[in-house]
Amino acid sequence: MKNISAIATLAVVIIAAVAGIAYFWLSSGASFEPSPGGEASVYDYFTEKLQEPLKQQTIQGFEPFMFIEEYPGLEAGDFDGVTAVGGVYENIRGEVVYVPGSSKVITTADFAITEGGMKTLLDNIAARLGIAAEDTESVDSIIAQISQKQ
């Protein structure tokens, strides 16, 4: 019986380690870097600008509450459909709620917003504000608006 318990514990440790490594591997592409053609996408620019003031606060990734504290103009609906490493965020009755995926083991890294989630976040904010996020100037305008209390 002790062998089964030890194997189960080892399996949980390995799964947690793999999840942590996967998170860091997946999140490493989230910083602002030009694409092969030399042009960075507006999504890359948005991600870099939005995360910049928060980079000293995390090693596990960025979660909605961090952005909401930094940017008072954000709303729960802005995070609707935003993917995280281990699930997705939804707007439920005006609250940002994390809905886990199929994984049975949940680590803190699971709550981190993915690169695709940052794209959804920008699209949601831009739609709410009625601003087409088509260049760095429009992204700067979006960030300026969410930086102010509504």
Domain coverage including residue 130: 2-146
Q: In 50-118, at which residue ranges do the beta strands (DSSP E only) sit?
A: 82-84, 87-92, 95-100
Q: What is the pTM of this model?
A: 0.72
Confidence class for position 67, pLDDT limits 50, 70, 90: very high
pLDDT (tens digit, 9 = 90+) per residue, 20-58? 444 444 444 433 444 444 456 999 999 999 999 998 887
For residue 129 the two structure tokens come to 């504000």
Helix (H, G, I), strand (E, B) or coil at 52: helix
In the chain, the percentage of residues whose pLDDT exceeds 90 is: 61
Tally of domains in the chain? 1
Q: Where are the alpha helices (DSSP H) in the chain?
A: 2-27, 42-51, 64-70, 115-129, 136-146
Q: Which amino acid is at 109?
A: A
